[in-house]
Structures are given as C-alpha cells and as structure tokens.
Structure 1
C-alpha cells in the first residue's frame, strides 16, 4: 500500500472532487505509481476526517477518469490513465443513479418475455448440427437467406455475396479493422467516433486521425486535406446518427466521401449498428462503394441487448482474410443467439420491435425537447441519444462530476474524441437507458446544471 496521503489542509468543497485532484496531481508527479494499492475507503475517511461516502465518490471518479481500478476483494489500485481507454459509461448500474451514460434501446417487460420465449423455442428446435459442429459453414448454412433479407431492409442489395455472422458490432469492428489495416498504418474517422475504435486501434498498433465534422459528419474537404498530407489507409464512419454527436449524413455528403475514398484508395468501414431504425435513410456506403466497404449492422440497439449478433459484409477480395481474422478472434458467433436472430428476422419479430422502438424513441425525444427547452443540442427524432455541447469556458469533467453528484450519469465527449487537440466540451445523453419518468428527472437536473452554477447544497458534500 502507498505511503503517500492526501493533505487534509488542502481539501476544499466539494471535498470528493478536491480529493480526486490531489490524487491526480500525485499520479502525474510520480508520487503514486502504477499498481500501488490505495487506502481502504474506511481507512482514508478516518485519516482525513471525512465520510466513507465521500471517499467512495472520489474513488469512483478516479476510476471514471482512468486513474484507478477496483478489484473485488483486493481493493483500489493506481492505474495510469494513458494506458487504457476509459469507457464513456459508468461500469456498473448503481441503484440510486439515473444512468443516461449507457446507450440502450427503450425496453419494457414484453422485450424480456419475447426473448425468453424465443430463446426457449429456439433451444428446443435447433438442428443437431447447430449444437454439435465447430464449422460455421455447417452451423449457419440456413442463416444466409435471413441475413440477406435483413441487409435489404437496411438499404443494401447484397446479391449473392457471403455474409459473416459475428458476436455483435464490436466483433465486426475488430474483424474489419484487422482486415483492412496492417500494424503501423493510419485510419481516419470522425473527430467524435465510436469509443471502442480508439483502444482497438491502439492495441493493434494503428494510428487514428480525427477528421473535422459538422452537423452531417465528416467534412469532405477536411478528409481530402488529411489524405493529401498523410498516408491514410481506411476511413471509419457512423453516418446514420449513431455517432456521439448524432450527425446524420445526407446523400450528397456520402457521394462526395465515396469519391474521395476511390480517388485515394481508402477502405471504408461503415458502422450501421442501428440498421433500419432510422426511416427514410440515404443509401449506405455499402451500396455507393461496395468494392471497398466493410459494412455491418447489429440487433442489440434496436431489439434487445442480449441479441448480440451482427451481419458483416466484406469487400469480396478481402473475404478470405476477414474470415481468418474472425476465426482467430471469435472462432464463430454464438449459435443459439444467431439462431434466435434468424428466427426473429424470418417471423417478423425483429421488424415489429424496430417499429415499436422508433415510436418509443420519438416519444422520448419529444420529452427531451420539452424538458431542455431553449438549450441547443443535436439529436435525431428516432435516435437513442442526444448530444449537448457545453458553453465555452465550461469544464466537461466538472459538469459530468456535478451531474453524477446529483445522481445522474452521462457520457463525457472526451471518451469519443479522436483529434490531436483537446475536444470541445460536450456530453452524450442516452434517452433509452431508463424509464420515461427517470429520464425527465435526469434531463431536468442536466438542464439546471447547464443553465447555471451548481446549487449551494452541492457544495456542502
């Protein structure tokens, strides 16, 4: 255990944030080293003359900032934040917290009932080969028509192309990046991108370049400038409102980016995790530039989180490589869950749940507009979240911390930022991750924090 201790004479209100700052400085100055165990909550509270709850909040904030990690039964340990990427969401759901940090669909009891009944029916009727085989071409022989039908619902006519079935969008991202980019190469992406892309690229030895954005996403002239200045091999995209800033790309913008990709020979990695959720979408890049596009869509954000299956289309000349990358990272997708996805596509359950989700999210977005009033934010009327830029001079970290102190968890924009310069402060707020009443309450707290300083009651903690 470390011998360094915070100075109680330097604590100021709110005490837990002051404590976090002292720990942060000690780590930056080398007074605390990677792997050192911090004092127990009770011990530090006794030594500093503060409450155990205050220490618990400080340690939780250290973990959120990537400066500490908790191990059940062992304690809390120093972790150098630069070595690991902190997720934007709180790691565990706490009963008293309104969690607007985790991106989830709106869910009711009927979703649980549908999944349980579907899983039981599928388990009882699965063919023997789906239970006993290790060979994906045997297990998934009957899945291809359903996958192709679902891709057509997403605006793609895949013809007779092969479709890979992966364990959700995260596995599809990994397969696509590993196939398109060798170590040492560079991928471009929106300056605010999918949070898992950043640590994945770092683990694989791939450089990430963030491209400036507007309300439609990547600005073509900025992308072309980066291509001229550096050796960009691929471009990762979230064109349909699923990115943290809810940017939605027009057909003209997509066509301009497809032209740049062809001119500079870029692979395109199109993350369409929401699939057909957003109605009346422009054609995907997989239609505009099929020869160079890795496209994947999944079910977790539009049906139920447990349906962790994605369909991945790969440029035909890289199909064998993609199959091998999937083999070494996942072997093959879970046959039980894949079978349930196939069944829901065939019998219409997936379509029904998508239609229901559209309507539910539209209601949530109307509630958000009513609560936030004149506060400027971006969202899509059928989207799972909204993006709230913070006014100039407001600290993103402080805003997130004060919201958490008031019992609301939100996702900091810095968790999604891929640029070399500090990111403009902003927060992502999920509208589907909790009940409608809790959402309105949480948004009300966010609105009050946005419009003014924290209430005096906060400063007594």
Structure 2
C-alpha cells in the first residue's frame, strides 16, 4: 500500500508554551477534528521545520511527544504517520477538564439520574456474612450462578447460550479486546466503514488491520462483504442493531443475507450487540440466525447502568476451546461486587425495569431532538442513545468546529472511520446531556448552524 504524505501545517497560537508542545497539541486537535486521519503520513521533520520556521530539533521533539501520547507512530523507511488514538482518547478526555458552559454531547453514555435508589436498596440488602467475600477474588461458584442469570438475559435477544457457552469480562470493551485476541490468525478484520472507537483501539492493540465495508441505510452491503470474503477475510465484526455511530438497525432480510455469505465463505462473525435490547422490535441477533459461526458480545453498561462494568461473550460450540483458554485470564478482571449486584438485578427484575426506564428516557430525548433540530439532516430511532447528522463530504470537521464555537461538543466522522471511504457526518449523544433542558439548549444551538459547513 502506498501512503501519500499529508501536507498538514499547524497554525500555532502566540503563547509562552514551548513550540514543540504547541505542535504536539495541534496534532491531537487535528486528529480529533478529522483534519488528520489514521494512516496519514506527516511531513518530514525537516520539511515541517522549514514550513513553520523552527529548528528541526523542535519538530523532532514535537513528534516524539506526539508519539508518547500515542498520536503518531513511525517506521524506518516509512516516515511518521497518524495512529488515530488521539481521536478516540480525546472523546473521553473531554470530560477531564472543566468546559465552563459547554454542553458536551460527545460520550455515548446512557442518561444517569442524580441518585440511584436501586443501588442503595441492593447494598442495604446484602447479607452481612457474604459482604466480606465480595472483596475477595471471584469464586467459580459465584461466576456460575451469575452466568446462569446471563444465559436467561441473552435469551431476550433469542440467543441460546448456557453458562458453559458464556465468558464474563470486565465490560463490553474488555469483551471485544478478548474476542479479537482469541483469533490470532485473523490479521485483517472486516467491519462497517464507521465503527465505534473501541473496536479501532482493540484492533490496533492486537496489530490487526480493519477492512472497511461500505454501508447503506440497511447496514453493510452484501456485495462489500462478499468482496472482502473473496479477498481472504475470515473474521468480521458487525454491529447490526442501533449501530454506533450511524444508528442503523439492519433488517432481517439483510441479516440473513450476510449470514448466508458468512456460511458460504466460512467466515466467523463477532456480533457487537450492546444496544440490542434497547430497541423494542429489533430483529433477532445474528447469533440466533447463525449460532454456529457468531460470537455474540453484549454488556450491561449501555442498558442497565454505565458503571456496571460487565461484558459477555457467547461462543458457538466449535469455539469453546478458545473460550476455555481465556476463562481464567478474563475472570481476574471482574469485580465480585459488580457480579453479585448484576446477578441480583437480573434475577429480581431490577435490571429489566432499569432498561425499560432507559427506553422511556431516550424516547423523551428523541422527541426533544425532533422538536429542536430544525432542518438539519439527521437520523435516529426513539430508543437509540445517539443521533447521526449527515453532512456533505468534508463537512464534519467544519461543523464540529462551529459547534464547539457555539458551546456544543459533538464527534466528527473521522473518529469512527475504519477506512478512507466513509460517510461524513457527526454523532450527537443524547444521553450525555445532564438533563432534558440542557439537551434542548444544545440541539437548538446546533440547529442554528444549519447543515452546511
């Protein structure tokens, strides 16, 4: 693959900050805004030094600082190129500094109430004799009881998986990282052309390439998937329900078509389904349609409580040996307290009641979006935690900057891009606003910008 150099030159502000730090900061800002994308090659040290009028050593130091922050990588003979980590890191780093009047709609989190009586009640009811045990390492018996409850939970998505088929992880991101690690021969992974940042991070961690698949309004195009299979792809990651970031829910016919292609080419699919239960009428999970070749991935953070860091993998029978290899390793990351709480909530109905409350709140916030987004071209579903604002090619970076100037933080398409040919737009997270009034204010500000860069 030929990588072309990006003629990117930062505009350095006048300040007392050392020039090398200003350049490193500018690199991070450019990645977050989509001006620099994963794989872009930066100017050589000497060329950028000449363009900026600084010493070569200053640029070298700036690139080293950017590499330390994991914005950039370098290889002898290839040059300095964008890793893309900064865009994902910035998505969460936004919450680490006071924004002073800015309404942050960047992190895709469910709405959270100021108090949580369910948690208070559950902690009060813990048996005093069992409390101390919850601060020890997780026991095999406790894990089995928990997975039995999880088995019944995933049946709500028509996924048939017994405790022996399930692996518990410390959140859905840990589950994705684990799933990818278990298939070391899959050097390239097929996925949507826009993916949630955690998948990009996991692929980079395990040194896997992402093969971007074109999408339409019904999800991944079958022709794109078949083409990837013909080219040798044998592992794919799909998010067919309330896709992050585009909100697309794949129809049943499209799901069946893709699974038929997967069977034809003997491709294994990891189905990321963390939002699957939020949509009331969601089609069956891919794992229900092709249980022999889908590793099903879900969790509780997006539906029950964001701090309940529990994720699950359901393995088809032919992959159980891989699961057993990971069981001991992954269980050490899981909090016994979180596991006990989740078990109780799944068994007594609290988890489902909380999920229904999420649906209700997200539906209310979706109505606010319809009222306040004016003529902006956007898509979303009543129980989806985010919206997707479509923009003309190249428009997301400018819109994101204009939104920031208006006091609203949104996320441009470049953060989600798994390849170079992808739809342009921005993601707006409805759950991130502290309350409905703040959301209405933020969306009104965005509507005032119009749909053009």
Relative to 1, partners in 2 of residues 1:235 and 1:125: Cα closer, same or farther, differing over 3 Å? farther
Task: Show the 5 A alignment for 1:24-35.
Answer: 28-30=43-45, 31=49, 32-33=59-60
Displacement of 1:6 after TM fit?
4.3
Task: Show the 5 A alignment for 1:27-426.
Answer: 28-30=43-45, 31=49, 32-33=59-60, 66=71, 81-82=82-83, 84-87=85-88, 89-93=91-95, 94-96=98-100, 97-110=102-115, 112-122=116-126, 124=128, 126=130, 131-133=135-137, 135=139, 137-158=140-161, 161-179=164-182, 181-183=183-185, 185-228=187-230, 230-325=231-326, 327-328=328-329, 331-392=332-393, 394=395, 396-419=396-419, 421-426=420-425
Partner Cα distance (2:107, 2:11) in 1: 34
Displacement of 1:296 after TM fit?
1.8
Relative to 1, partners in 2 of residues 1:319 and 1:400: Cα closer, same or farther, differing over 3 Å? same
Partner Cα distance (2:251, 2:228) in 1: 21
Could you say what secondary structure the match of 2:370 adopts? helix
Residues 72 and 84 of structure 2 are in contact (CA less than 8 Å); yes or no, is this contact kept in structure 1?
no
* TM-score of the pair, normalised by structure 1: 0.79
- Matched residue, 1:428: 427
Partner Cα distance (1:216, 1:203) in 2: 30
Residues 386 and 427 of structure 2 are in contact (CA less than 8 Å); yes or no, is this contact kept in structure 1?
yes
Could you say what secondary structure the match of 2:212 adopts? strand
Could you say what secondary structure the match of 1:209 adopts? strand
Relative to 1, partners in 2 of residues 1:140 and 1:402: Cα closer, same or farther, differing over 3 Å? same
Superposition misfits of 4+ residues, deviation over 6 angstroms: 21-25
Relative to 1, partners in 2 of residues 1:271 and 1:123: Cα closer, same or farther, differing over 3 Å? farther
Could you say what secondary structure the match of 2:304 adopts? coil
* TM-score of the pair, normalised by structure 2: 0.80
Displacement of 1:236 after TM fit?
0.6
- Matched residue, 1:448: 448
Could you say what secondary structure the match of 2:191 adopts? strand
Tell me the matched-pair count: 405
Displacement of 1:378 after TM fit?
1.2
Residues 209 and 418 of structure 1 are in contact (CA less than 8 Å); yes or no, is this contact kept in structure 2?
yes
